[in-house]
Amino acid sequence: MTIKAILFDAYGTLFDVYSVKEKCEQHFQGKGEEISRTWREKQLEYCFLTQILQKYEPFDQLTEKALRASLAIHGTEGSEKECAELMKEYEQLSPFEETEEVLKQLKGKQTFIYSNGTRGMLEPLIENNGFQDLIGALSADEIRQYKPSPASYSYAMEKLGLDKTDILFVSSNQWDIAGASSFGFKTAWINRAREPVSALGFEPANIYSDLKGLLEEK
Amino acid sequence: MTIKAILFDAYGTLFDVYSVKEKCEQHFQGKGEEISRTWREKQLEYCFLTQILQKYEPFDQLTEKALRASLAIHGTEGSEKECAELMKEYEQLSPFEETEEVLKQLKGKQTFIYSNGTRGMLEPLIENNGFQDLIGALSADEIRQYKPSPASYSYAMEKLGLDKTDILFVSSNQWDIAGASSFGFKTAWINRAREPVSALGFEPANIYSDLKGLLEEK
């Protein structure tokens, strides 16, 4: 295998975005699950929309707007303090069960997070989970072009100083796999939710049910 | 008022995309509603995704892929013949209750559909509803740049030979309103589903619960 570096998506791939659910439930009883789900949907929608509109806004701002949208959709609203507290949860997301062990086993390889999240979101998340010796961080915010745009993947490639074919890109998000495959990276889709393969095309090279599958690629 | 032309989105604005629900129900009993809903969600997702990936595919192809995706998600699949029959429904969507009357009252103004749908989808839809004397059709397919990209709205403007400020853009889709407002059109959001205003910004100039509101703008 000629892979020289592995790029990981953060949200949904290494870290569970639905781990904010409990905090949502504390603030908005009986609605925690649906608020956290719509929050994530709106976060992605706003990210795609600003990319298409060519009106970039940083991911932390979009995430906060998405939270407010979700609260409104579910017939509630949050104080400044509540929203700030919920936003803080994004720095403390839980990793998936196997994340740490897999990153440890991949030590010695070049591994980086490549996320739409800003450095200001990613660095505390890595530190709070004690992963600073296991993985580095690159953010699409540095080029202000969101994944899954070709410009975003191109930036990551140039930053690593490698060729497309040197890089394995890992994500549990099908839109991210579509973008990375279409750009020319080798891709591994972590299909945690057992979704059907996208009918759009741009398929992954490999599909695994969790990150442990990557150890076969070593 | 200085408006010289009114551009209408088609799907969800003049015509009800969920009118395919009954046909879905005939083919896939007990699942018609959820299949038609996911079909629409995937249609939009694929459209946004190919726009971001810069991998344009015509809307009829994306719509058929979206149908196959929806069927797979709901644990079923369709024969070639069934899918072709369901696709044919897109040429026979029902208009909303007030659509025809409002278009009649706007006669004398320049009115056009401006849709992501191809001409091959829009023209039969207009004819099957007997609207050929009421409204013209422009398609983003002509420039192979989907709404809500700035390039798509710019194309429509140039095609009409008018300035931004001469054009009122009407849609029930918030992403379309965001795109058109951000581009610089005057916009009217037909908020049929009584959704909260988007937290993203790019707000419409006016909000109406159905198309009849436009008659106030005359």
Contact B202, A57 (CB under 8 A): no
Contact A140, A147 (CB under 8 A): yes
pLDDT band of A166, cuts 50, 70, 90:
very high
User: Do A69 and A117 fall into the same domain?
Assistant: no
User: Do A30 and A86 fall into the same domain?
Assistant: yes
pLDDT the model gives residue A2: 80
- Match 């058929």 to its residue by tokens: B64
**Among the three residues A41, A71, A91, which one is the final residue of a domain in this structure?**
A91
CA–CA separation, A174 vs A172, rounded Å? Answer: 6
Classify burial at A217, counting beta carbons within 10 Å of its beta carbon; exposed 0-12, middle 13-18, buried 19 or more: middle
Radius of gyration, alpha carbons of chain A: 17
The beta strand positions in B41-175, using DSSP E, are 94-95, 110-115, 136-139, 167-171
User: Do B164 and B211 fall into the same domain?
Assistant: yes
pLDDT the model gives residue B218: 52
User: Do A128 and A206 fall into the same domain?
Assistant: yes
Q: At A25, which CATH number?
A: 1.10.150.240
pLDDT the model gives residue B107: 87
Question: Which residue, A46, A80, A9, is CA-closest to B182?
Answer: A46
Cα atoms found within 13 Å of the Cα of residue A110, Cβ hemisphere only: 17
pLDDT the model gives residue A216: 86
B158-168, pLDDT tens digit by residue?
Answer: 999 999 999 99
User: Do A191 and A122 fall into the same domain?
Assistant: yes
The beta strand positions in chain B, using DSSP E, are 5-8, 15-16, 94-95, 110-115, 136-139, 167-171, 186-190, 206-208
Q: Which residue has the higher pLDDT, B218 or A79?
A: A79
User: Do B147 and B166 fall into the same domain?
Assistant: yes
Q: Please say whether the dihedral angle defined by the alpha carbons of residues A56, A39, A201 and A190, taken in this order, is positive or negative.
A: positive
| Nearest residue, CB atoms, B200 vs list A49, A196, A200 | A49
Smallest CA–CA distance, residue A45 to chain B, in Å, is 9
Q: Do A199 and B49 touch (CB under 8 A)?
A: no
Size of interface A-B (CB pairs under 8 A): 84
User: Do A62 and A107 fall into the same domain?
Assistant: no
pLDDT the model gives residue A103: 97
CA–CA separation, B149 vs A53, rounded Å? Answer: 5
**Chain A residues with CB-CB distance to B73 below 8 A:** 195-196
**Among the three residues A35, A68, A91, which one is the final residue of a domain in this structure?**
A91
Which residues form the domain of A203?
Answer: 5-15+94-217
User: Do B43 and B126 fall into the same domain?
Assistant: no
In this prediction, residues B126-155 reach a mean pLDDT of: 98
Provide the domain count of chain A: 2
Contact B151, B167 (CB under 8 A): no
User: Do A104 and A85 fall into the same domain?
Assistant: no
| Nearest residue, CB atoms, A52 vs list B51, B66, B198 | B51
B44-89, pLDDT tens digit by residue?
Answer: 999 999 999 999 999 999 999 999 999 999 999 999 999 999 999 9
Q: What percent of chain A has pLDDT over 90?
A: 94
pLDDT band of A130, cuts 50, 70, 90:
very high
Q: Examine the pLDDT at B193 and tell me if it is beyond 80.
A: yes
pLDDT the model gives residue A108: 85
pLDDT the model gives residue A123: 97
pLDDT the model gives residue A217: 76
Structure tokens at A214: 């990557």
pLDDT the model gives residue B108: 85
Reported ipTM: 0.95
